[in-house]
């Protein structure tokens, strides 16, 4: 039987991270890092199949996280969580995140179904890449 996926959340918004962690924990092992140095330490210690990075957090932004994670762990899906105050700029944020190499952009006020669905897609992508790499 396959192990539940392992997901890393990067963010320091206590309420939003707690809500996301509660929802994702129903189907995955979830770890949280409040900043990029902590996230990189966690990535070095465990295998993750997806990362969700908040728009900004202590000591960094999603761009910093995406750049460093992509360099160190190519192919690991990084989902960017949109700027809570920037929903009017949603399509611009999405284009910016995708152009930078993010797996997708998740609205900060997303619903439970949207969060679980995107996590499932990101994990499936990581697992498919892993299978292709061993073939």
Domain ranges of the chain: 6-134
- Per-residue pLDDT for 1 more than 60? no
pLDDT reported for residue 95: 87
The CATH number fitting domain 6-134, selected from 3.30.2270.10, 2.60.40.10, 3.40.50.2300, 3.40.640.10: 3.40.50.2300
The closest alpha carbon to 100, from 64, 124, 127, 128, belongs to 64
- Per-residue pLDDT for 67 more than 90? yes
Average pLDDT over residues 13-34: 95
Q: For the packed helices 14-24 and 112-134, what is the interaxial angle rounded to 10 degrees?
A: 60
- Per-residue pLDDT for 68 more than 70? yes
CA distance 69 to 104: 15
Beta carbons of 119 and 50 less than 8 angstroms apart? yes
Beta carbons of 84 and 54 less than 8 angstroms apart? no
Average pLDDT over residues 53-78: 93
Beta carbons of 5 and 123 less than 8 angstroms apart? yes
The 10 Å Cβ neighbour count of residue 133 is 8
pLDDT reported for residue 4: 93
Average pLDDT over residues 100-124: 94
């Amino acid at each position: 039987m396959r192990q539940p996926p392992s997901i890393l959340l990067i963010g320091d918004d206590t309420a939003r991270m707690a809500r996301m962690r509660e929802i994702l924990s129903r189907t995955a092992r979830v770890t949280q890092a409040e900043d990029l140095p902590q996230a990189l330490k966690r990535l070095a210690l465990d295998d993750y199949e997806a990362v969700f990075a908040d728009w900004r957090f202590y000591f960094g932004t999603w761009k910093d996280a995406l750049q460093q994670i992509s360099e160190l762990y190519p192919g690991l899906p990084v989902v960017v969580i949109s700027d809570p105050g920037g929903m009017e700029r949603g399509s611009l944020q999405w284009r910016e995140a995708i152009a930078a190499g993010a797996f997708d952009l998740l609205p900060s006020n997303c619903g439970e179904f949207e969060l679980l669905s995107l996590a499932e897609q990101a994990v499936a992508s990581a697992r498919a890449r892993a299978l292709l790499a061993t073939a």
